[in-house]
Each structure stands twice: as structure tokens, then as C-alpha cells.
Amino acid sequence: MRDEFDEPQMPVPVGEAGAEATASVAAAEAPAEVPPVPAVPDGIRLLNRDFLTDAANLPDASIDLIVADPPYGLGKDYGNDSDMRSGEDFLTWTYEWLDLAIPKLKASGSLYVFCTWQYAPEIFVYLKSKMTMINEIVWDRRVPSMGGTTRRFTSVHDNIGFFAVSKDYYFDLDPVRIPYDAATKKARSRKLFEGSKWLELGYNPKDVWSVSRLHRQHAERVDHPTQKPLEIVERMVLASCPPGGRVLDPFMGSGTTAVACARHKREFVGYEINESYCAIARERVSAAAMAAATHAAAAVIDAAGA
Ligand SMILES: C[S@@+](CC[C@H](N)C(=O)[O-])C[C@H]1O[C@@H](n2cnc3c(N)ncnc32)[C@H](O)[C@@H]1O
């Protein structure tokens, strides 16, 4: 296991806590008139380390948002035995990492934790003893109807607990509002609704998020067995981390949270024990940074031509 995953790197000073930042050496060699594009943007740290043994190196009260998608205790193969715990053993381990993660949050900070119906009751009761519960979000994975189980109802959702350090937690609904379609807007065009801010801004996504899981053919899918859809994690980052704030992902996997942060200019620190998944995360973050830079350059050219 390597300490810091990022490859060719040169130190770039960053403000807080002496955190190492990285930038691409290749990008530094680009022609003078082309702004350098960092392979992994400043402020994004992809660590090939075990969160439980390394958490002590992360300063307390330095994080705005934790997005935690840990092993669920269901026996998935992550190239290690991290998902082989079950029952009390799994819960003891869960409480251990939660106790390490929670102090990292600022007073305005919050936490989203993915889990399943099998363990959500115990995890939520534990978290309620430490934090303020804001929501239980149900992720409807849009699983198609097929045969399957005959002794109970088919489970097609994940549970996501949303908890805050205090009642004064950061939350901005506007960037995650869902626009009304033209037909709905027209139907609500009567005098009664005229000038309604909510009609223009869109509606609250509510607490049931119906987003397709990433099946093998999905364009976003990489080689990770439980990769989460970017749409879900982006919603968490945009609503619960201020622009320029810092997000922690203790179980980074293929780097979905890091990609959301790279796309939306948040700082990020993530941990992953499987080196191959760190490599995937790095590739995804570099591609996202490149796409964002290209998009920004195109906007500048458009503006100059206008
Ligand atoms: C559910 S997956 C995360 C998937 C991720 N959200 C994504 O979209 O790709 C959990 C990950 O945690 C990693 N892991 C397990 N124990 C860990 C630990 N102690 N520290 C860091 N990573 C760990 C596993 O290798 C696995 O890739």
C-alpha cells in the first residue's frame, strides 16, 4: 500500500493544515499561452491508506461534509476482506469508524452515510446519540422487475442517513432544486402562482431519490462493484458543502465523491485501501478536471467572440 497515491507531483502550497497538494508535471510543460491543467487539482487528495489507522492525521473540525459509503457488511469482494464482517462485529467496526470521523466535522458540518435496511436501524440509533438527524433518504435504485425472491418483497433501495453536528448546519437547497418541466409551469401560470420563486427555481428533490444504479453497460461505470451514481453524490456535495469547502470520504472506492468535488470546486480528502481503486479514482478526477478546464476555456472563447 502506498502512502499518497498521486503520481508525478510537485508540491503546491495550500492554505490549511499544511496539506500536500499536487499538480501535474506534464501540465507545467504546456506552452506558455495555454493555462496549465492539473492532472489532479489542487486541494484534492486521494490517499491509498486505511481510514481507521490514518484518521488521527486529519485535523479535527477541518471538514464541512463527510460522504461515507462504507462496506455494507454483505460480503462484497473489494479485493480485500473489508466487507466480510457481519452482525455485531460489523456494527462494532461501524461505530469505531464513525467515532473517528465525526470529530473531523466543523460545527456547521454534516454527514451522509450509505447503508442497507439490515443495519440502518442500529446505525441511525447510534448516530442519533451523537448528532442531529436531518433525513433518512431512500435511494430507489430503479431495479427492473424480475423473478427473484418469493419469501419477502424484493429490496430495491439503499438507506442514506443524513446527520448534522448541530441545528446550524450548512444547507443550500438552490443548487439542487429540480426544474419544473414546461407543462407544469404552464399549468401553474394562473395569477395565483405569478412571480412564485419556487416555480422559477424548481422543487426540492424530496427524500426518495430515484436514480438508476450503474449497471455494467452504464456510461459512467468503471471497474468497481459498488460504484455510486455521480448524480446522487453531487446532490450531497452541492447542498451540504459550501463552495471552496472541504469534503471527507473515508471509503473512496472509485472516487465518485472526489469527482463531484473536482467538478464543483470543493476540496477533498479520501481514503481507499485498494490501490487499483485509487488508480481509477485518479483517472476519473483527472478526466473531470480536464473537462471542467475545457468547458471554462470554451466559455472564455465564446465571451470573447460575442
Ligand atoms: C462501498 S465501496 C465505496 C464506493 C464508492 N462510493 C464509489 O462510488 O466508487 C467501499 C470501499 O471502501 C474500501 N475500504 C474498506 N475498508 C477501508 C478502510 N478501512 N479504509 C479505506 N478504505 C476502505 C473498500 O476497498 C471499498 O472500495
Query: Ligand 1 in contact with 283 (CB < 6 A)?
Result: no
The domain made up of 36-177+205-305 has a fold known as Rossmann fold (3.40.50)
> In the chain, where are the structural domains located?
36-177+205-305
Find the 251 Cα to ligand 1 centroid distance in Å.
Answer: 4
For cell 481507499, the residue is 272
Q: What is the pLDDT of residues 124-168, one digit of tens each?
A: 999 999 999 999 999 999 998 877 789 999 999 999 999 999 999
249: left (phi over 0), alpha (psi -120 to 50) or beta: beta
- Residue 10 pLDDT > 50, yes or no? no
Say which residue, 297 or 92, is predicted with more confidence: 92
- Quote the pLDDT of residue 35: 57
Query: Ligand 1 in contact with 226 (CB < 6 A)?
Result: yes
Q: Is 155 in contact with 72 (CB distance < 8 Å)?
A: no
- Quote the pLDDT of residue 34: 59
- Residue 270 pLDDT > 80, yes or no? yes
| Joined grid coordinates for residue 95 | 461505530
In this structure, the residue with its CA closest to atom 12 of ligand 1 is: 251
The Cα–Cα gap between 263 and 12 comes to 20
Find the 252 Cα to ligand 1 centroid distance in Å.
Answer: 5
The Cα–Cα gap between 204 and 178 comes to 7
- Residue 195 pLDDT > 70, yes or no? no
Mutate which of 93, 97, 114, 273 for ligand 1? The one with the most ligand atoms within 8 Å of its CB, which is: 273
- Quote the pLDDT of residue 5: 43
Q: What is the pLDDT of residues 198-252, one digit of tens each?
A: 778 899 999 999 999 999 999 999 999 999 999 999 999 999 999 999 999 999 9
Instruction: Please report, as a single letter, which amino acid is at residue 32.
Output: A
- Residue 8 pLDDT > 60, yes or no? no
Q: Is 163 in contact with 139 (CB distance < 8 Å)?
A: no
- Quote the pLDDT of residue 107: 98
In this structure, the residue with its CA closest to atom 2 of ligand 1 is: 253
**Would you place residue 33 in the very low, low, confident or very high pLDDT band (cuts 50, 70, 90)?**
low
Comparing 181-185, 255-259, 260-264, the range with the smallest average pLDDT is: 181-185
**Would you place residue 194 in the very low, low, confident or very high pLDDT band (cuts 50, 70, 90)?**
low
First to last CA, the chain: 51
pTM, two decimals, is: 0.87
The Cα–Cα gap between 162 and 180 comes to 25
Arithmetic mean of pLDDT, 174-189: 85
Q: Is 248 in contact with 58 (CB distance < 8 Å)?
A: yes
Residues 6+ apart with CB under 8 A from 289: 37, 38, 39, 40, 41, 262
Arithmetic mean of pLDDT, 18-44: 57
**Would you place residue 186 in the very low, low, confident or very high pLDDT band (cuts 50, 70, 90)?**
confident
Q: What is the pLDDT of residues 46-82, one digit of tens each?
A: 999 999 999 999 999 999 999 999 999 999 999 999 9
Of the candidates 240, 221, 237, the one whose C-alpha atom is nearest the C-alpha of residue 229 is: 221
Query: Ligand 1 in contact with 284 (CB < 6 A)?
Result: no
Mutate which of 53, 252, 261 for ligand 1? The one with the most ligand atoms within 8 Å of its CB, which is: 252
232 CB burial (10 A radius; 0-12, 13-18, 19+): buried
For cell 448541530, the residue is 166
